[in-house]
Amino acid sequence: MNLKRYISAKTISRIVLFTGMLLMVSCDSGFEEMNRDPNAYTEPDIGSLFTTSLIRTVGTGTEDRNRTNIKYLSGAMQYHATLQTFWYGEKGIVNQQTGNFFETAYTSHMRELSVILEATEDNPELVNQNAIAKIWKVYVLHRVTDAYGDVPYTEAVKGSSELMFKPIYDRQSEIYPMMLAELEEAIGQFDASRASFGGGDVVYGGRTDRWKTFAYSLMLRLGMRLTKVDAAMAREWVVKAYNGGVMQSNDDIAVLEHAPTSGNTWNWDARELKRESLPESNQGLGLVKMGKTFVDLLQEHDDPRIPFYMTLWEGNINARQSQVLSETTEPSLQKGLPNGYDPGTISEIIPGWNNGMLAEFSEPNTATIANFSTPSIILSYSECEFLLAEAALRGWISDTPQDHYHNAIRGNMESAIRYPNSSVDGVSITSDEIDDYIANHPLTGSNEEQMRQIHTQFYLAHYMYLDFFEAWSNWKRTGFPEMAPITYPLNTTGGRPIRRLMYSYEERALNTMNVEAAISAQGPDNYLTRVWWDAE
C-alpha cells in the first residue's frame, strides 16, 4: 500500500520485487539503451505473474485471506463455532487482525496484477491478457470493498509506475459503477484471433469464452448487490448480465484445483480447518466445531449434504487413514455447538459442562470438505441460478423463479463430485437424494417467503465452497437466514453479527489522512457501520 508498508513487513522478497518494478518503469530510453544486456530479462513474464495472482487471491500461500474467511466470517455466519476467543468474528471481538485481509489484498493479490495491467495496456497483441486482468482486478477488489466499504480503487494499481503509496479512498458508491463498467469494457475487448495466458491461467487455461462467462456471472453478483440501494441500477446490470450469458452448468464453474502433496498446493481454507483448528490427535477436542445455527437448518431441511459437510470426531480419525465411517456421518447424530461462548460461559446454556463434552459436537469432514485437496470454487453456477431465481421473482427476467431455484440446488449438490472421497458410502450425495430433496422443496408463498427460501438455500449451499465472504455479503444484503444473537461479554456489536471489517492499524498509521477521510465519509470504523450497498 505504501513504501513503509513494504519495509515494515520485513520481507526481503517484497522489497526486491518492488524495487524491480520501479526500475522497469523509471528508466528513460537513453539509459535503457546504454545499459541493456541482450541476455538479461527485460519484460515481465505476465503468464507467471497471473498464475501467482490467481493462487494468492484464492488463498494458497496468503494466510491473512484464509484467516479472515475462516476465523472471522465463517464464525460470524455461524457455520462454525468455537470456545476460543481468537475467532474474533464469531464473538464480535475487536482485534487488529481485522485489517489483515485489506493489507494482503493490496500487497499480495494486486501486486502481480498491477504489473500485468501496466505491461498489457494499449498493446493490441496482449488485448486478451489485459481484459482478463481487468476482470480479475474487479474480482479481487469487489471483495475488499464489500468487506471494508470505501477503499482505494482508482489508485489501487498505480504503486509501481506513479509512486502512489498513499492512495485516496474511493467511495463505494463510485467503486461499484466503475467495477461494472470495467467488466463491460473487458468483455468488449476480447479478440478470438489473439493469444491469451494459456497455461499461465490455472483457472480457465486462457479460454476467453470462459472468462467472458465469468465476467457476466460476476456482473450478475455485483448487480444484485445493489438491490437495497439502487434497484433501478441493479436491474439494469442484472438484465445485462443475463442477456450476455452467465454460467449455464457446473462445467462453467471457476475453480482452482489443489493437490495434497505440499503446503504450496493445498487448499488453505481447508488447511485452516484441518491442520490448525481440528487436528485428529485431539480426539474431538479441537478448536472448531460445526455451528448450531447451520446444523439445525440442515437437519430441519433433511439435507443430504450433512454427511458430506460434517462428521463426529471418530470419522475424522478414520479419514486420516483414507476411510469413512458412515455411522459417524449419520445426519441424526450431528450436533452443532452454540455460538458466542467460551469455556467459562458455555455452562450458562449447557449445565454441567466439562471440556470433554466438546467431543459430542460435529466437526468439518476432513475426508471431503476440509481436505487439503478440496477444490477452491471461485464463482459457481449454483450461485448464478440462486440470483436468477431472485431476479425472476422480482420480475426482472421472464423465467420461472422455481426453475432457477431448483437448478441452483441441483447444481450445488452435483458439484460435490469434484471433491475427494465424494463417491464413498457414508458421504456421497446420490441422484435419488437430490431428486427427493428438490421434490420436497418447492418455491412457494409470498415474495418475502420465497426470498427467505432462496437465500436460506444459498447459505446452505455456500458451505460446499467454503466461501464465507460471499455467504456473508449475501446475508448482509438479504438478511436470510437469521443468525442467533451473541451474548458474549466482550462482544462489541450488541449481539448482532458483524457487517463490516475495520481498516488495518498499519494503514491508519501510515495513510492517516486518506483513512480518516474515508471514516468521516462512511461512518465509524467498527463492525456495525454498513457499507454503501448495505443500506437499512
* AA letter at 373: S
Question: How many helices (H) does the chain have, and how many strands (E)?
Answer: 24, 6
Q: Other C-beta atoms within 10 Å of 332: how many?
A: 8
pLDDT surpasses 80 at 131: yes
Per-residue model confidence (pLDDT) at position 501: 97
Q: How many residues does the chain have?
A: 536
Beta bridge partners of 311: 363
pLDDT band at 324 (very low <50, low <70, confident <90, very high): low
List the one residue out of 336, 331, 333, 350 whose CA is nearest residue 296: 336
Question: How far is the C-alpha of 190 from the C-alpha of 231, rounded, in Å?
Answer: 30
If you average pLDDT over every residue of the chain, what do you get?
89
Q: Is the pTM of this model over 0.95?
A: no
Beta bridge partners of 290: 80
Question: How far is the C-alpha of 182 from the C-alpha of 176, rounded, in Å?
Answer: 10
Largest CA distance in the chain: 79
Per-residue model confidence (pLDDT) at position 425: 84
- Domains 1-33+44-246+499-536 and 284-466 are alike in CATH topology: no
Say whether 172 sits in a helix, a strand or coil: helix
| pLDDT, mean of residues 491-515 | 95
pLDDT surpasses 50 at 2: no
- Per-residue DSSP letter, 149: S
pLDDT band at 9 (very low <50, low <70, confident <90, very high): very low
Beta bridge partners of 151: 170
Return the CATH class of domain 1-33+44-246+499-536. Answer: mainly alpha
Residue 120 and residue 138 in contact, taking contact as beta carbons nearer than 8 Å: no
Which residue in this structure is represented by grid cell 443500506?
535
Q: By percentage, how much of the chain surpasses pLDDT 90?
A: 77
pLDDT one-digit tens code per residue, 527-536:
999 999 999 9
Concatenated DSSP letters for 18-53? HHHHHHHHH--HHHHHHH--TTS--S--HHHHHHHH
pLDDT surpasses 50 at 81: yes
Q: Other C-beta atoms within 10 Å of 453: how many?
A: 20
| pLDDT, mean of residues 198-216 | 98
List the one residue out of 476, 432, 437 whose CA is nearest residue 457: 437
Alpha helices in 361-440, H assignment, sequence order: 381-393, 401-414, 431-439
Could you report how far apart the first and last alpha carbons of the chain are, in Å? 32
For residue 262, the Cα-to-chain-centroid distance in whole angstroms is 23
pLDDT band at 23 (very low <50, low <70, confident <90, very high): very low
Concatenated DSSP letters for 222-255? HHHHTTTT-HHHHHHHHHHHHHH----SGGG-EE
| pLDDT, mean of residues 208-231 | 99
Question: How far is the C-alpha of 360 from the C-alpha of 75, rounded, in Å?
Answer: 19
Question: How far is the C-alpha of 476 from the C-alpha of 468, rounded, in Å?
Answer: 12
pLDDT one-digit tens code per residue, 399-445:
999 999 999 999 999 999 999 999 988 899 999 999 999 999 999 99
Q: Where are the domains of the chain?
A: 1-33+44-246+499-536, 284-466
| pLDDT, mean of residues 107-121 | 93
Per-residue model confidence (pLDDT) at position 478: 99
Return the CATH class of domain 284-466. Answer: mainly alpha
Residue 204 and residue 210 in contact, taking contact as beta carbons nearer than 8 Å: yes
| pLDDT, mean of residues 256-260 | 91
